[in-house]
């Protein structure tokens, strides 16, 4: 149950539109719902400020649909990550109104429009070393937008043509948090960290040739960055970076 639904329930009880017994029945499912194969954390939005998100990878189509459908009974907006294109067809057929993006592999199931941030709101700048890093960068960007945060993007501005990065310096300087997504040697994050005064979240990607070790070299480079103020999430974890960035923006805007 998200905060707005809980507030509506309490207001209905206060106004005499809903009985105390009926309210108690609706609250019985808190803090989780047991589906046998999954226990849905319905209390997470109240506890952490954002609802549980469905990690679709390695789940069956039936499990994905059931989880999203049940979460949709308690939240206005539900997000699923790492949904394959193969599974997306069945999910969209069984969940009318769901939307899928093949680049980020995110699926959104909503009742109504997402909140739209204002132009003056604090923002996260998401940069990527190359176009090949876009799937991870878009997972981060679209997750932030799902959560209601303001996002600016600048892709393919890696250090092999550092003038492209410097061209974005004004936007970077105005950012309240930066997510830097890069594969290969992961050098972009160190350079960004040396240019801005806000927190920088490094996201190493598995993009690169053999010695990249599927993102391990980029991960180690970011962890060993000499620029201060950098935090690093796991390889290809755009979602984790977005949640971290959102928590910073939410505190600023509070």
Q: 70-118, pLDDT tens digit by residue?
A: 888 878 889 999 999 999 999 999 998 899 999 999 999 988 788 788 8
What's the pLDDT tens digit per position in 140-158? 999 999 999 999 999 999 8
**What gap in Å lies between CA 193 and CA 188, rounded to an integer?**
9
Residue 174, CA atoms < 13 Å, CB-side half-sphere: 11
Cα–Cα dist 153/2, whole Å: 29
pLDDT at 4: 67
Q: Which residues contact 17 (CB under 8 A, 6 or more apart)?
A: none
pLDDT at position 201, please?
A: 98
pLDDT tens string 168-211: 999 999 999 999 999 998 899 999 999 999 999 999 999 999 88
Both tokens assigned to 79: 């997000």
The HSE-up count of residue 173 (CA atoms within 13 Å, CB side) is: 6
Q: Is the dihedral of CA 178, 183, 189, 191 positive or negative?
A: negative
Question: Does residue 212 surpass a pLDDT of 70?
Answer: yes
Residue 94: exposed, middle, or buried by beta-carbon count in 10 A (0-12, 13-18, 19+)? Answer: middle
Dihedral sign of CA atoms 162, 165, 167, 170 in order: negative
Give me the chain's average pLDDT, please: 89
Per-residue pLDDT of 118-136, as tens digits, reads 888 999 999 999 999 999 9
Task: With cut-offs at 50, 70 and 90, classify the pLDDT of residue 1.
Answer: low
Q: Which two tokens stand for residue 196?
A: 């801005």
What domains can you pick out in the chain, each with its CATH number? 29-110 (no CATH), 123-253 (3.40.50.1970)
Distance (Å, whole) CA 198 – CA 174: 9
For residue 180, the model assigns a pLDDT of 97
Report the predicted TM-score, pTM, of the whole model to 2 decimal places. 0.85
pLDDT tens for each residue of 33-49: 667 777 777 767 767 77
């Amino acid at each position: 149950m998200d905060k707005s639904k809980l507030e509506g329930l309490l207001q209905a009880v206060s106004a005499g539109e809903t009985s105390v017994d009926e309210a108690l029945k609706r609250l019985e499912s808190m803090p989780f719902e047991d589906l046998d194969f999954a226990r849905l954390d319905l209390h997470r939005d109240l506890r952490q400020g954002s609802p549980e998100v469905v990690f679709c990878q390695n789940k069956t189509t039936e499990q994905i649909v059931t989880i999203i459908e049940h979460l949709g009974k308690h939240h206005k907006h539900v997000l699923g990550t790492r949904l394959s294109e193969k599974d997306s067809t069945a999910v969209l057929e069984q969940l009318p109104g769901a939307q899928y993006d093949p680049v980020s592999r995110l699926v959104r199931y909503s009742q109504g429009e997402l909140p739209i941030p204002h132009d003056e709101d604090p923002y996260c700048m998401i940069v990527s070393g190359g176009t090949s890093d876009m799937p991870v960068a878009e997972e981060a960007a679209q997750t932030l937008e799902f959560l209601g945060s303001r996002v600016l993007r600048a892709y393919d501005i890696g250090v092999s043509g550092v003038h492209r990065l410097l061209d974005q310096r004004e936007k970077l300087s105005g950012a309240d948090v930066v997510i830097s997504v890069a594969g290969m040697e992961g050098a972009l994050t160190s350079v960004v960290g040396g240019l801005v005064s806000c927190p920088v979240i490094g996201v190493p990607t598995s993009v690169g040739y053999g010695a990249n070790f599927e993102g391990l070299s980029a991960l180690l480079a970011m962890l060993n960055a000499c620029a201060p103020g950098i935090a690093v999430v796991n390889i290809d974890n755009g979602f984790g970076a977005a949640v971290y960035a959102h928590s910073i923006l939410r505190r600023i805007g509070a």
